[in-house]
Amino acid sequence: MSIDSAPRTAADRLRRIVLVVALINFAYFFVEFSVALVAGSVSLLADSVDFLEDTAINLLIFVALGWPLARRALMGKGMALVILGPATVAGFAAIRRFANPVAPDVLPVVLASLGAIAVNGTSGWLLAGVRHDGGSLSRAAFLSARNDVLVNIAVIGMAVVTLWTSSGWPDLVLGCAIILIAVHAAWEVWEVSEEERLAAKALAGEKID
């Protein structure tokens, strides 16, 4: 790669990385969503929707990176709400299954989760070096990718327990765990966004509330 073709600023590098991450997450959504329907797994279904969340977050970073600090802070709070999306989907799916918890098909769940770990691990690795370059926006993307790997590992653990017990309850319990992880990530992003909002007011010479 020539010097001229290399990104000249941290913002250029961040925009290139989030676009790549958005594309690979969008592609894998279709894989995991299809497997989740075939396997009958609530937790895998929730995780597949999470790939759409990651796609949205990274595409929004790509678009909003050049915005002023105050506007980025507002967008960061929006991203905190976006992170809650998959948790809501998992919650509704879990509620419907509580009356009749059916065990999912284990093998496709494990295989899809291994693929998800590869995608999310790659995304997290790419975003780790730029997570401070875009404020709350890039932090939202990094936290989402990091948490997704933890969820993927948990899904594999759930599959092992399901194989042992032949019960659908582990799948439902994991759905609740996904909700907790998403809420925690959303709170972290919200806090960083609030710091950016206060910083923008300070730079503008406004009174900090």
**3-class SS letters over the chain:** CCCCCCCCCHHHHHHHHHHHHHHHHHHHHHHHHHHHHHHCCHHHHHHHHHHHHHHHHHHHHHHHCCCCHHHHHHHHHHHHHHHHHHHHHHHHHHHHHCCCCCCCCHHHHHHHHHHHHHHHHHHHHHHHCCCCCCCHHHHHHHHHHHHHHHHHHHHHHHHHHHHHHCCCHHHHHHHHHHHHHHHHHHHHHHHHHHHHHHHHHHHCCCCCC
Give me the residue spans of the domains in the chain: 10-203
Write down the pLDDT at residue 28.
96
| pLDDT score, position 29 | 93
CATH 1.10.357 fits domain 10-203: no
**pTM for the model:** 0.77
pLDDT confidence of residue 112: 97
The pLDDT assigned to 146 comes to 85
What confidence score (pLDDT) does residue 1 get? Answer: 44
What is the pLDDT tens value at each position of the chain, 209 positions in all? 444 444 457 778 888 999 999 999 999 999 999 999 899 898 898 888 888 888 888 887 887 777 777 777 787 788 777 777 777 777 787 788 888 888 999 999 999 999 999 999 999 999 988 877 666 667 778 888 888 898 899 999 999 999 999 999 999 888 888 777 777 777 877 887 787 778 777 777 666 66
